[in-house]
Structures are given as structure tokens and as C-alpha cells.
Structure 1
Amino acid sequence: MKLRFLGKNSQVGDCPTLYATDRDTYLVQGWKIFADDLLLQLTLSAGDTAVEVPTELFEHLEKDGFASGEFKRLEDPLMVLTPGGTYVVQGRAVTDPETLAQMSIPDYETVIEVSKAAITALLEEPRGADLQRRAQPAL
């Protein structure tokens, strides 16, 4: 898989990063999720996982030809806007060694693959009922 770096939101070190691929997908490198209360809100299929990223990461979609990286709605694969103002993104876990070798991934991060169509659909104005779900803080 060929990757094209779109951007990340850090001055130093490794951090959540967005890549475009030659397969009409995006790779989202983000923080592993360890919070059980957050994981319980997700429905993950076999082979899928979720990562947490700052909302600003998707501003880099502009480098892929979009006028804005501002999401107008939240639904699959972006499942949750956390109370801390981050997104939880779910997708296919990237396990291919050649692909992973093209990135610098610290132990506390992982990478998922999400279709471009699924991500770019979130840039459109909401249709019908608001499908946004917000994470509920643990009691």
C-alpha cells in the first residue's frame, strides 16, 4: 500500500497522523483506547479496532482536495465525540508489516484504515435525524 502523508497535530514526536492511500482509504494513526466505559459504547466487528484522535487532525483533509476538514455530522466510522473534545474513530486494524514500516508508531498508538467515502460523507450537511452520539462520562 502506498501512503501519502496528509498531516499531524504535534510539534514534536509521534502523534495522531492522517494518511491517504492508493486504495481510496485513509489511515488514521491514533491513541489506543483503554477506557472500558468508552469501549463499551462501540460495536466493533472482527478485525476492527478504534483509535482516539484530536478533532483538528481532520483539518488535513484540505490537503486531499476538500474545502474543509470540518465534520458536519458524526456516524460510522466516527462513533463518538468524547467529553474531552476528541474523536473516536473505528475501522479495520492495519496489520500489514510493509505498511506499518512506512510509519513511526509509538507503543501507545495504533493505525486503522477507513474508506474515503465514509470519512468524506461526514463533511456533508446532516440529513434527517441527527445521528450524533456523544460519549457519556463514567459515573
Structure 2
Amino acid sequence: MLLKFLGKGGSGDGECPSLYATDTSTYVVVGWRTETPRTVEIPHLLLGFAEPDTFVGATMTDTGRGTFLVSGRPITDSETVVRLGMEPHETAIEVSKAERTFYGATAAA
């Protein structure tokens, strides 16, 4: 899997969740481990690194504390895991990359 780093953020110590684009039109999301399998926690700001005219096409739940819970396919390939350089409290999932096709309606005249 080829990875393109898009951005990271969410903590002040450099151990931040990260977002990557893949060569298979998906995103890899590195986030904080949760107790729910296949789910990571990420800061809201991480979604701002998505490629233009796309969004993270995954089920997300707002925690109410500036983060989302995001679910996807766990990354288990050892080569990819090593390249991601995750901290022990982090894990990675793969989610779809969806195209943004609607930007809202204009106000009625």
C-alpha cells in the first residue's frame, strides 16, 4: 500500500493522530485506540487534511469533547504498520475516500 501523508494534529507532544491517502482511493486514519474494535478516536481538526473535493467516507460519532470516533478496516499489514510509526496508544484503520459533490444550496432570492 502506497501512503501519502496529509497531516497530523491533536496533541501538543507530536504523538498526534494522522491522515494518509492511499494508492487505492482510500484514507488511512491513525488515531487513539478505543475499547471498540475497528474504531479509533481522532480530533475534529484531522478531517481538514482530507484531499480537495473529498471527505472521509466512514461512520463517525461526535464524542462531544472535540473528537470523533471513526470506524473502518484495521490495518494489520506489518510493513504498513511500521511505516506509520504509531505510538503504543495508537492504531490505524482504512476508510473509504468519498467525493464531495454537493456544497450546499444558495439562499432563495
Please name the residue that 2:77 is paired with: 96
Q: Distance in 2 between matches of 1:26 and 1:59?
A: 13
CA distance in 2 between partners of 1:16 and 1:66 (Å): 22
Report which of the two has the higher share of helix: 1
1:14 deviates by: 2.2
Does the 8 Å CA contact 1:78/1:89 hold for their aligned counterparts? yes
Distance 1:124 1:88 in 2: 24
When you count strand as a share of all residues, which structure comes out higher? Answer: 2
2:47 corresponds to which letter in structure 1? Answer: F
Aligned residue identity for 2:22: T
Higher alpha-carbon deviation: 7-16 or 96-105: 7-16
Aligned-residue RMSD, C-alpha? 2.5
Change (3 A) 1:86 1:5: same
Is 1:77 matched with 2:63?
A: no
Counterpart for residue 42 of structure 2: 53
Q: How does 1:83-122 map to 2 (within 5 A)?
A: 83-117=64-98, 120=99
| 1:20 equivalent in alignment to 2:15 | no
Counterpart of 2:31 in structure 1 is 30
1:51-79 Cα deviation digits (max 9, x unpaired): 00000001111xx2238x7x9xxxx7233
1:125: Cα distance to partner? 5.9
Give a deviation string over 1:78-115, Cα, whole Å, max 9, x none: 33101212111000000001111211101101000001
Unaligned 5+ runs, structure 2: 105-109
- Counting aligned pairs with the same residue, the percent is 42
Q: What SS does the corresponding residue of 2:83 show, helix, strand or coil?
A: coil
Q: 53, 66, 88: which is aligned to 2:53?
A: 66
Runs ≥4 residues deviating over 6 A = none
State TM-score, norm by structure 1: 0.64
